[in-house]
Structure formats: C-alpha cells, structure tokens
Amino acid sequence: MKHTRFIVNTIVCFSAVVIVYAVGMLLSSQDEITQNVAVKTDAPLYLIHNSDNDTTYKVIDDNIQRFIRREYIEGGMVVAISFHGRLVYAKGYGYSDVADSIPMEPYNRMRVASVSKLITAVAIMRLIEQKRIFLHQRVFGNIGVLNDDEYLSYKDKRMGDITIYHLLNHSGGWLPRYGDPMFMSHTIARAMGKQLPINMQTIIRFMQDKSMHFTPGTASVYSNFGYGILGEIVAKASSMPYESFVRSNMLAPLGIFDMQIGHSHIDHRLPREVLYYVPDTTGVVDYADGNVIVPRAYGGVDIQTLGAAGGWVASATDLLKLTLTIDEFPDVPDQLNFESIDTMIHRQEGFDPLGWRGTIGDSIWYRTGTLAATSAIIERRPDNICFVVLLNTSRGPNLALALRRLMDTIINSIDRWPETDLWQNDEQWQAYKRGLVEIE
C-alpha cells in the first residue's frame, strides 16, 4: 500500500490538516463498487449549486435555452466558466433525470468520454517529469515499458518500435479498418477463448496477433486503443492501478474527490451521476453478455475497460479545476512544468497534439468527448477564460462544433465577469492556488 501525504496550510488561524491517501481501500460506502483507490480526508466534498451564481446573465440563459431547443437536447447540460482562475459561472440546464423532473446541477457527474484522454496524457507527463518513464521510450519488447512475458510476442515486428509519444499523438500504427478493438469485446473474447467481460490485457494480446496498418510515427490516426495502452503504462510505471494513480496523485491535491472511472449499467450509477439519453432507442448486445439486449447507453460499451481512453465520470467544475492546472496561465499553479505543457500542445504538422483534440495557434486548446448519450468539451482560450460543457445526451461529433460556436457567442457577449469566485469557500482548492499544497 502506498501512502501519499501532503500538508494543507491555511492563512486564517487553524492548524494544518494531514491528508492520508490509502490506495486500495474504498473511497466511501456509497462508492463501494469502485475499489481502486480511497482518499481518507476530513475535508468536505465541495459542491457547487445553481443558486450559488450571484449574477444572472440573461444572455447566457437565452442562448443555452435556444441551443437546447434547436439541438433537441432531451436531458440537459452544465456550463462552467473560469476567468483568471476564478469560477465565475457554473449552472445546469434541463434535467439530470427527465422522468422525475430533477434539474441539472453543476455538481452532477457525467461520463466525459474522450476527455479522459487528456486526463491520461497529463498522468503520462507527470510520470515523465518524475523520470519513471520517458517520452520516446519504447512500449513493447525487452526494453519496453510493458515488457511482461505476456506482451513479448507479437506478429508484426514494427510493434516493437512503438513509443509512448506515438501513442499520445495517435501515430501508433492502427487504422479503424476492422473496427475499434475497444468496442469489440464479443469478437475478441471469441478469438482469444476468453469469458466476457474481457480486460485491457486481452485486447492488447488480440492486437499483437494482428498485422499493423502503418509504421509507427508515420501518420496520425485517432486511436482509442493507443490510449488504452497508455493506461497500462501508467499502472506499470507508477506501480498502482491507473485510476488510483490519477485520483491520489493528480486529483486529490486539487480537492477533487468526485472523479472516477464510471460503470456501464444503470444499477451501478454513481452518486450524483445523471441519467443518459440517446435519440436512437434501438437496443444493443450487452458487452458482458451476448445473450442480453440492453439500452445503448447502459451496457453497450465496457466503460471500465475503456477507462484511460474514455471511461471517466466527472462534474464540469471538477474538470475545470484540472484544466486550470495545465493551462499555462499564472492565476493557478500548473501541476505540469512549462516544458511538459508545451510538448502537449505543439504538434507535428499533420499529427494530433498530446491529449488535446486540437489547437488553434498557440492560444486555443480544446478537447472533446462523445459516447452514446454523452457529449463533453473543454476549451482554453487566450483571454484567460477556460470553460467546460457537459451533456447527458449526444448527437455525434458535430455537436462539439455547435457547442464551441455557442460558447463563443456567449463569452463574446459578456463585457464583465463577476469579481467573486464560486470556489472561494473551497479551502482545499484555495490552498492549492496559494501554493500551500505539496504535490509529489
């Protein structure tokens, strides 16, 4: 068991609080289904409510309500905006539960789909800074990070040339020609003689028995599988389960205790997690049982195994906190150094950035995520504004573009943001901002 200790010092006369991270225990009784990590703390979970906004912006409400009607959003959405490191707006629209008319709140947790890749990329860069791994280190083979016996045999010798960098910028060598292996659980289980559900190790072994589609590093083709492998690298390099490393080393020091890998079925829904709504109500085969038909949003995808590539569940405000620690703005200390952040955003021509979905020049960085019944977008802008938008429905990848246009319209309509900070009473976060929290 690994213990991470840090000291939170305040400037208002109360003594230091020692927080002990006990990996491998349960986070709480209500989250007992997740057994990867626990964070024992006397710091309360800090939740933002719709009513916490001290200023009502009619232009925001009007634009979002029009967007919900125009895009036929069945459920709802949450918008969180920061300005110079302050949370200046956080509000839910529509419903987290339509049938029971439960309003969407900023504290509601949602699947964030491929935004998970940004979280994974930050974890990799943290480990690189700690010199546990190296950016251009090989992944497989005797000198690779994943040099376990089960990974040493592969059909295509080029697999031994894959580096961590190739996985980060989607140049590992795979095309979606035969499907995405992260969504082929039944096919892979049959081919490998395994029982459902399968794990990431089985998916890797399945792909090692196949020829690669192109030489690693020569092209950039979006790959969920590559980020699944990165999750295994985080686990191997940190000697901790992937989720445990992220939660204890990256999130808990920021006062983020409500982010975790989600689950596929509705009966395993997390506390404060929304219900998900899809336009297509056609049933699909359950990823864990080929004889069962389930709703597309509840069992069509193995969220746990998707993990590092698309399995995280988070609130918009927690995701915004994480974004502010990798944005290079001076208002909040970054948890990565300048060189790491620069490496993530400055891409080779024709290749994806690391973790981010795209960059526009050096000043706009964005990350999107889409799964059945969930859409997410994060953006860092040059005007010291960052925002997160989460929805519990989806309309395909084009919805992300519509969300970016919506947020441009909203932000360009605001002349002045409030001076207050909706996080002002979040002692853990404020201590981090002041540099009083030690992050290993």
pLDDT for 102 beyond 70: yes
Query: Are 76 and 93 in contact, with CB atoms under 8 Å apart?
Result: yes
Query: Are 73 and 67 in contact, with CB atoms under 8 Å apart?
Result: yes
CB within 8 A of 311, min separation 6: which ones? 111, 116, 261, 262, 303, 304, 305
Tokens 């707006």 appear where?
A: 89
Helix (H) or strand (E) holding 82: strand 76-83
3-class SS at 440? Answer: coil
Q: Which amino acid is at 184?
A: M
pLDDT digits (tens, 9 = 90+) for 226-280: 999 999 999 999 999 999 999 999 999 999 999 999 999 999 999 999 999 998 7
Query: Are 328 and 334 in contact, with CB atoms under 8 Å apart?
Result: yes
Average pLDDT value for residue range 10-30: 33
- Confidence (pLDDT) at 43: 57
pLDDT for 38 beyond 50: no
- Confidence (pLDDT) at 29: 34
Sheet containing strand 358-360, edge to edge, reads 102-103, 86-97, 76-83, 385-391, 374-380, 364-371, 358-360
Question: 138-147, 204-213, 356-365 — which is least confidently predicted?
Answer: 356-365
- Confidence (pLDDT) at 21: 34
- Confidence (pLDDT) at 13: 32
Query: Are 171 and 216 in contact, with CB atoms under 8 Å apart?
Result: yes
pLDDT for 31 beyond 50: no
pLDDT digits (tens, 9 = 90+) for 128-148: 999 999 999 999 999 999 999
pLDDT for 307 beyond 90: yes
Task: Name the β-bridge partners of 97.
Answer: 102
Residue 431 CA from chain centroid, whole number: 24
pLDDT for 20 beyond 70: no
Whole-prediction pTM? 0.90
What does the mean pLDDT of the chain come to?
89
- Confidence (pLDDT) at 236: 98
pLDDT for 5 beyond 70: no
pLDDT digits (tens, 9 = 90+) for 386-432: 999 999 998 877 888 899 999 999 999 999 999 999 999 999 999 99
Give the separation between CA 35 and CA 244, rounded to whole angstroms: 9
- pLDDT > 90: percent of the chain: 81
